[in-house]
Amino acid sequence: MACGDRAEDFALKTLEGKGFELEERNFHCRYGEIDLIMRDRDYIVFVEVRYRGSSNFGGALESIDQFKQVKLRRAAEFYLVKRKINDCACRFDILCVNGNLNKPDYEWIANAF
């Protein structure tokens, strides 16, 4: 299993442990991919999962630039239209997974942008 898949598995288990429910995983469209789409009470949460084994080339959080945020927003809009979801509150969360995946450290940023 690839490191990215293992990081997503960790993120999914972490968020489910906080009461989130999985709506969809690895949603693909012409605008990009959304790693996890979760339900947190009345919110649909679009979750970007980032993994870095080390911070030698910058941390996971720094890798989500303006360009990536625009792609995520467009993909989320496409998802909402495709699923005919009109009146639900939404947000974007980032879950950064760092270090050894056998015992990872993570940083979760709710409503990141």
**59 vs 51 pLDDT, higher one:** 51
Among 1-10, 13-22, 48-57, 64-73, where is mean pLDDT lowest? 48-57
The pLDDT, as a whole number, for residue 68 is 92
At 75-106, the pLDDT tens digits run 999 999 999 999 899 999 999 988 778 888 89
> 102: which 2 tokens?
């056998």
Across the chain, mean pLDDT equals: 90
Answer whether 0.85 is exceeded by the pTM: yes
Q: How far is the C-alpha of 51 from the C-alpha of 63, rounded, in Å?
A: 10
Residue 39's nearest CA partner among 75, 5, 90, 76 is 90
- Does domain 3-99 fall into CATH 3.40.50.11540? no
**Identity of the highest mean pLDDT range in 11-15, 51-55, 97-101:** 11-15
Best CA proximity match to 110, nearest among 92, 98, 88: 92
């467009």: which residue's tokens?
74
